[in-house]
Amino acid sequence: METKAIKEMYCNMGISEQIYDFSENILKGLKERFEKIDENAEYNQMKVLQAMQKNKVAEMHLSGTTGYGYNDEGRDTLEQVYADLFKTEAALVRPQIMCGTHALNIALSANLRPGDELLSPVGKPYDTMDEIIGIRPSKGSLAEYGITYKQVDLLEDGSFDFENIKKAINEKTKLVTIQRSKGYASRPTLSVERIGELISFIKGIKPEVICMVDNCYGEFVEKIEPSEVGADMVVGSLIKNPGGGLAPCGGYIAGRKDCIEQAAYRLSSPGLGKEVGATINVNKDFYQGLFLAPTVVAGALKGAIFAANVYEKAGFRCIPDAKEERYDIIQAVELGTKEGLVAFCKGIQAAAPVDSFVTPEPWAMPGYDSDVIMAAGAFVQGSSIELSADGPVKEPYAVYFQGGLTWYHAKFGIMMSMQKMYEKGLLKIN
């Protein structure tokens, strides 16, 4: 009776019986994987609790400051919580950091000087990094400040090109950037273990080089973070995983004390550093979002695995595939046509709690070299721990799906994306 009532609810919300039955049959085979995700979430939940209790988080820490933000106990305690979570010497967790791209720019520009060289040993970084580095000319890029850039692509099988990485490291190499997630690429996401192997190799050649990991989309997916395997800095956004869907803005940089100090001076001003920065009214949301993050990430992971399984069964290439281990919350599906990409995103939008009535269309977004379509009905605009999907309108017309504050919403979103494609004759199910 209960199952019938749930099915009726989905049908009332626009899901056809064919899509519902197809989805439920696939879910039956995912029980063990979902249990493993829940176990991981429990571990990370206890880790967050331990860090908050160790630092004696109190009611007074939930209030913010105004003006210069001197003596902001809530901010300073939160930064210590992050440092403990990531097992680092220090952390910078601020609402003044606008997004993950901004956090990465702060970390890079703070720790590089004219004449230094930046190396990416995992191929080209995410598209929005192009103008920071100067791959595409832009005002204020690292290239304008005389910082050079080298890149070593991954091998065809996704493994590291150790031979060419060794050749690329020279006397100018100051900082190595390692992007954990795939971004808009078809390469595999890197596990923390693989990141550790790469860092160990690089440090074996040049011990003093700074290894920075772009940790966006990866926090709480595994039981350990890249900072526990040798990363000097880990960088991320609070409108992704660690914000838990409650953080209204912000980013973090955690790592070696000297690197974080440099980043603080870059974010604020020489001579001011970490001492200033009003938190206004965000401290409570930062703390509560972090507290919820392990559970929220678990729901997003279930959604990603579900998406891979249904779309692979329907004949589409999925990255990662249906059976692969997960190291971030992003699921890529190669839809093959512009029509498929648009229909998928319209389905995600239609499943949203906010702006479900809006129709997403491709547009020329700043920082990208082609039109991009984005679907999201988020409580926090731009929050990619909330259910969203996007993709550049170019071959192979891959959509990048992520997030979901609850597993049930992620499930509904994927089913609705299938429904829209099914109605257009772009998806066949058996």
Coil, helix or strand for 92? strand
Which CATH fold topology does 46-290 show? Answer: Aspartate Aminotransferase; domain 2 (3.40.640)
First to last CA, the chain: 26
| pLDDT tens digit sequence for 27-77 | 999 999 999 999 999 999 999 999 999 999 999 999 999 999 999 999 999
Write out the residue limits of the CATH 3.40.640.10 domain(s) in the chain.
46-290
Q: What pLDDT, on the 0 to 100 scale, is given for residue 137? A: 92
Residues 6+ away with beta carbon under 8 Å from 176: 118, 119, 120, 121, 202, 209, 210, 211, 212
> Any idea what DSSP says for residue 254?
E
> What confidence score (pLDDT) does residue 237 get?
98
This model's pTM is above 0.85: yes
Question: Are the beta carbons of 116 and 171 closer than 8 angstroms?
Answer: no
Domain with CATH 3.90.1150.60 in the chain: 2-44+294-423
Q: Which residues of the chain have pLDDT under 50?
A: 1
| CA dist., res. 179 & res. 123, Å (int) | 9
**What are residue 374's phi and psi, to 5 degrees?**
-130, 135
Tell me the pairing of strands 372-376 and 173-179: unpaired
Element counts in the chain: helices (H) and strands (E):
12, 12
Q: Please name the residue that has the structure tokens 């579900």.
A: 306
Which pair of structure tokens corresponds to residue 11? Answer: 């049908």
> How far is residue 84's CA from residue 88's CA, in Å, rounded to a whole number?
6
Tell me which of 3.30.950.10, 3.90.1150.60, 3.40.50.1100, 3.40.800.20 is the CATH number of domain 2-44+294-423: 3.90.1150.60
Q: What is the pLDDT of residues 82-93, one digit of tens each?
A: 999 999 999 999
For residue 39, how many other CB atoms are within 10 A of its CB? Answer: 12
